[in-house]
Amino acid sequence: MGIDMTVTIGGAAGQGIQTVGDLLALVCHRAGLYLMVINDFESRIRGGHSFMQLRISDEPVYAADDGIHLLVALNRGSLAVHAEEIRAGGYALIDERSEGDDKAGEGGEAGIAVVGFRRLAEEAGGRIMANTVAAGAALGTLGAPDELVESVIKDQFRDKSQTVRDNNLEAARMGRNAVAEIRFDWRLQWPGQNPRGKLVSGAQALALGALAADCRVACFYPMSPATGVMVGMAGYMDRFPLVVEQAEDEIAAINMVIGASFAGVRAMTATSGGGFSLMAEGIGMAGITETPAVVVNAQRPGPATGLPTRTAQGDLHFVIHAAQDEFPRFVLAPRTLDEGYETMIRAFHLAEQYQVPVIVLVDQYFTDSLGIAGRKWVVPEIVERFLVSDAEMENPARYRRFSTSGSGISPRAVPCAGKARVMVTANEHAEDGHLSEAISDRNGQMEKRAKKMKRMVEEMRSPEVLHPDSSLLLVAWGSTCGVVREAVMRLRRENHDVGAVFFSDIWPFPAAAAAVALSGPGQFVMVELNASAQLGALIRAHTGLHAAGAIVRYDGRPMKPGGLMHDAMQYLEVSDG
Ligand X SMILES: Cc1ncc(C[n+]2csc(CCOP(=O)(O)OP(=O)(O)O)c2C)c(N)n1
Least CB distance to ligand SF4 at residue 434 (A): 17
User: Alpha helix locations (H) across 129-249?
Assistant: 130-142, 146-156, 162-178, 202-212, 227-234
Least CB distance to ligand X at residue 221 (A): 6
State the Cα–Cα distance between residues 357 and 293, nearest whole angstrom: 5
Least CB distance to its own copies at residue 428 (A): 5
Q: Are 371 and 312 in contact (CB under 8 A)?
A: no
Q: Which is nearer to its own copies, 184 or 276 (CB)?
A: 276
HSE-CB for 530 with a 13 A CA cutoff: 22
Which of 30, 173, 310, 335 binds its own copies (CB under 8 A)? It is 310
State the Cα–Cα distance between residues 401 and 445, nearest whole angstrom: 11
Least CB distance to its own copies at residue 65 (A): 18
By CB under 8 A, what part of segment 301-360 binds other proteins? 304-305, 308
Q: Which is nearer to other proteins, 90 or 209 (CB)?
A: 209
Applying CB under 6 A, does 275 fall inside the site for ligand X?
A: yes
Applying CB under 6 A, does 221 fall inside the site for ligand X?
A: yes
Q: Which is nearer to ligand SF4, 45 or 180 (CB)?
A: 45
Q: Are 63 and 559 in contact (CB under 8 A)?
A: yes
Q: Which does 520 bind (CB under 5 to 8 A by kind): its own copies, other proteins, ligand SF4, none?
A: none
Helix axes 162-178, 146-156, angle to 10 degrees: 150
Applying CB under 8 A, does 261 fall inside the site for other proteins?
A: yes
Applying CB under 8 A, does 255 fall inside the site for other proteins?
A: yes
Applying CB under 6 A, does 301 fall inside the site for ligand X?
A: no
State the Cα–Cα distance between residues 278 and 351, nearest whole angstrom: 21
Among 163, 241, 244, 231, smallest CA distance to 202 is for 231
Q: What mask, x for binding other proteins by CB under 8 A, covers residues 534 to 553?
A: --------------------
Applying CB under 8 A, does 561 fall inside the site for its own copies?
A: no
Least CB distance to ligand X at residue 295 (A): 14
Handedness of CA 88, 93, 95, 101 (dihedral sign): negative
Which of 67, 108, 195, 222 binds ligand X (CB under 6 A)? It is 222
Q: What mask, x for binding other proteins by CB under 8 A, covers residues 413 to 452?
A: -xxx-xxxxxxxxxx-----xxx-----------------
Applying CB under 8 A, does 274 fall inside the site for its own copies?
A: yes
Q: Which is nearer to ligand X, 232 or 274 (CB)?
A: 274
| Start-to-end C-alpha separation, the chain | 29
Applying CB under 6 A, does 1 fall inside the site for ligand SF4?
A: no
State the Cα–Cα distance between residues 268 and 21, nearest whole angstrom: 31
Phi and psi, residue 64, nearest 5°: -75, 160
Q: Which is nearer to ligand X, 159 or 248 (CB)?
A: 248
Q: Which is nearer to ligand SF4, 45 or 304 (CB)?
A: 45
Applying CB under 6 A, does 306 fall inside the site for ligand X?
A: no
By CB under 8 A, what part of segment 514-533 binds its own copies? 530-532
State the Cα–Cα distance between residues 240 and 235, nearest whole angstrom: 10
Q: Which stretch binds other proteins (CB under 8 A): 145-153, 224-232, 457-465, 474-482?
A: 224-232
Respond yes or no on whether the N-terminal peptide bond of residue 357 is cis (omega within 30° of 0).
no
Least CB distance to its own copies at residue 40 (A): 10
Q: Kindly give, in sequence order, each residue whose CB lies less than 8 Å from that of residue 140, ignoring residues fewer than 6 positions away.
A: 175, 176, 177, 178, 179, 180, 182
Q: Are 281 and 287 in contact (CB under 8 A)?
A: no
Phi and psi, residue 336, nearest 5°: -135, 170
Query: Helix, strand or coil for residue 546?
Result: coil
Q: How far is CA 110 from CA 54, 176, 426, in A?
A: 18, 19, 64
By CB under 8 A, what part of segment 21-80 binds other proteins? 29, 42-48
3-class SS string, 95-117: ECCCCCCCCCCCCCCCEEEEECH
For residue 460, the 8-state DSSP code is S
527: β partners: 551
Least CB distance to other proteins at residue 378 (A): 9
Q: Which is nearer to other proteins, 70 or 296 (CB)?
A: 296
Least CB distance to ligand X at residue 230 (A): 12
Which of 1, 45, 180, 416 binds ligand SF4 (CB under 6 A)? It is 45
Least CB distance to other proteins at residue 380 (A): 7
Applying CB under 8 A, does 98 fall inside the site for other proteins?
A: no
By CB under 8 A, what part of segment 138-197 binds other proteins? 195, 197
